[in-house]
Amino acid sequence: MSSEPAPQGLGPIDDDTLDEGCYYLSKLGLSSVEVGKRFEIPASEVTRRRDRFQSGLKNGRFVEDPASLEFWRSIREEAEGNVKVTFVSGKGFHHAWRSDMVKFDGPTLLGIYESCKEFLNLDPSARFLQYEAPKNYDPLAMQREIAKAVVVVGNLLEEKWKEEQKKPRRP
């Protein structure tokens, strides 16, 4: 374990994980200053850690993994406010990034919103009579995820409503 202070709200981060994060976030186009802000460390340390991870890749201590790149991409997305949303529709459970959901039209968003609200109003023990339970089911996890979707989709609907109000009306 590292003796360095962890970013606020987290336990200690081990050196290898921090090195990996500095490497992959840099690879995703963030500058050393931007990565440093996220980890609350100086840019010079980000550079040192990124270089140390690259050295570990060259000498075989680490292996570059596409799954790790995707993991750090999702960390970056969520840190920038682009949350991944799990929502429910008549066809089951779905996942989407907020940035993708912004592209949906109003009626589609409203349908998602209504499906999610309906799901939250179901009797918790009867939920999966109508919907198939997802893999690794945690009974409280879906409640939390769908509740989060209601907030995100509700905000998107509000943004769409405001955009519509700004448009000139045709006689």
Helices then strands, counting H and E runs in the chain, come out as 8, 2
pLDDT tens, position by position, 37-91: 888 889 999 999 999 999 999 999 989 988 988 899 888 887 777 888 888 887 8
Res 124: pLDDT: 63
Neighbours of 125 (CB within 10 A): 8
Averaged pLDDT, 146-170 = 84
Write down the pLDDT at residue 120: 84
CB 28 within 8 A of CB 69: yes
CA distance 58 to 145: 40
pLDDT digit string (tens) for 82-123? 888 888 887 888 888 888 898 999 898 999 999 888 888 876
Q: Kindly report the pTM of this predicted structure.
A: 0.54
d(CA 93, CA 6): 35
Give pLDDT tens digits for 6-21: 444 444 568 888 899 9
